Amino acid sequence: MKKTRKTIQKELIFETVRQMKNHPTAEQLCQEIQKRHPTISKATVYRNLRQLSKIGKIKHIEMPDSADRFDHFTDNHYHIKCNICERVFDVDMPYFDKIAEMIKDNKGFKIETHDLVFKGVCRDCKKDKK
The residues binding DNA (CB under 7 A) are: 2-10, 25-27, 37, 39-44, 46-48, 50-51, 66-68
| CB atoms closer than 10 angstroms to residue 106 | 9
Give the chain's length.
130
Query: Could you say whether residue 114 binds a second copy (CB under 8 A)?
Result: yes
Q: Which does 126 bind (CB under 5 to 8 A by kind): a second copy, DNA, none?
A: a second copy
With CB under 5 to 8 Å by kind, the binding choice for 8 among DNA, a second copy, none is DNA
Reference 84, options 126, 118, 117; nearest CA is 126
- Asked if 39 interacts with a second copy (CB under 8 A), we say no
Residues 72-111 that bind a second copy (CB under 8 A): 80, 82-83, 89, 91-95, 99-100, 102-111
Smallest distance, Å, CB 60 to a second copy?
Answer: 10
Query: Considering the complex, what minimum distance in angstroms separates the CB of residue 36 from DNA?
Result: 12
Instruction: From residue 70, give the alpha-carbon distance in Å to each of 8, 18, 29.
Output: 19, 10, 9
* Exposed / middle / buried, residue 79 (Cβ in 10 Å: 0-12, 13-18, 19+): buried
Q: At a CB cut-off of 8 Å and minimum separation 6, what does 112 contact?
A: none
Residue 85's binding partner out of a second copy, DNA, none, with CB under 5 to 8 Å set by partner kind: none
